[in-house]
Copies of this chain bind each other. A is one copy, B any other.
Amino acid sequence: MPVLLDPDRAPPLSELLKAIPGGLVQKLVPGAERWSDPRIAGLGSLVTASAAEISFIVHPKYLDQLARTGACAVIVLPEIEDGIAAMPHPPPFARVVCKHPYLLYARLAQWFDWARQPARDTVVHPSAVVDATAVLAPNVTVGPLAVIGARTRIDAMTQIGAGCVIGADVEIGNSSIIHARVTMYDGVKIGARAIIHSGVVLGADGFGFAPDSSLAKGAWGKIPQLGSLVIGNDVEIGANTTIDRGALEDTIIEDGVKLDNQIMIGHNCHIGAHTAMAGCVGIAGSTKIGARCTVGGAAGVAGHLTIGDDIHISGGTAVTYNLTKPGRYTGVFPMTEHADWQRNAAVIGQLATIRKRVRALERE
């Protein structure tokens, strides 16, 4: 079940909005009677919100849901508020008028996420194994059974979750949240305000081998990975994602990059600022991706490529050449009923011949 604060901890709407930064609110329209300034215990969608919750409408196509919502307050676009204000019998909920309702929702959710956190002791749990030469700034929290290596430096306010293994010579910036069971190899560097989810492995060896037939026919000799991994500020990394260290130079993730779960980023990659990737994406080694790109789920980018800024890759697409022109790129075999697929897929192997036959017909 979603968050619902106890009634006595739920702030009145007017107080709650004062706590949200950014000047997003244009106007607060009181609701009817007991909802003139209702106490807000949580956030819900229009369909599921209860009378203790605030909701939001991002597009007029949801006006139907708005008409039936049980929420005591709703974040609305100015044009929607105009429509409501013109009604002879306006609905009873309070309205928060705002040009960016989705962003205001995000910030309210941040407030509730903060409000629901239990008070944490900013301590190093006695079961954690922290090297004597590690340097922990004030207010760093280290969870039970975490391991922190030699000479590692962790900046103020950062939380290290239970069971993490942080190697030697690692640096983690301030106010970061490293969830339980994250692994960082020696020498990895991460900026401030990172959020790293469980199961993430940062700085493991890249996949580098040289054919070495002196060992055996077809054998591979390991190329040790002497570079490291450097991650900027405000980066979030989803559960079980892996980012490898560089072969000679460092793998680099710039500020504001957002990575979903189970993403794999190979050695020597360079990911530009504010680029976002959905789950299960794979980026092969030595590829450079620009700023503000998006990569859809399970898409892949081949190695040694350069992808420019503001490029959007559709989910499931395999990128096999450089891209410089901003825009959206796609390559996915369309799904159909299996029998139809069989019939049409059988023709794929004859396409070159069919093209030739069409040319021949045209020449006749």
A338 contact from B318, B327, B338, Cβ within 8 A:
B327
Residues of B within 8 A of A256 (CB): 215-216, 218-220
A36 interface residue per 8 A CB criterion: no
* A307 to B165 CA separation, bound complex (whole angstroms): 39
**Known A107-B221, A185-B198, A362-B361: A330·B335 in contact at CB below 8 Å:** yes
A220-B144 contact given A165-B198, A300-B298, CB 8 Å threshold: no
Question: Does the CB pair B345–A332 fall under 8 Å?
Answer: yes
* CB pair B147 A223 closer than 8 Å: no
Number of copies: 3
Q: Which residues 14-73 in A have Cβ within 8 Å of B in the complex? A: 22, 42-45, 48
Q: Say whether A222 contacts B110, CB under 8 Å.
A: yes
Q: How large is the interface on A (under 10, 10 to 19, 20 to 34, 35 or more residues)?
A: 35 or more
List residues of chain B with CB within 8 A of the CB of A105: 210, 223
- Give the one of A48, A314, A332 with max B CB within 10 A: A332
Q: Which positions in A face B, CB cutoff 8 Å? A: 1-3, 22, 42-45, 48, 100, 102-103, 105-107, 109-110, 112-113, 116, 118, 125, 127, 129, 143-145, 147, 150, 161-163, 165, 167-168, 179-181, 183, 185, 195, 197-199, 201, 204-205, 207-212, 214-224, 226-228, 234, 236, 238-240, 242, 244, 246-250, 255-256, 258, 260-262, 264, 266, 273-274, 276, 278-280, 282, 284, 291-292, 297-298, 300, 302-303, 314-321, 327-338, 340-352, 354-355, 357-358, 361-362
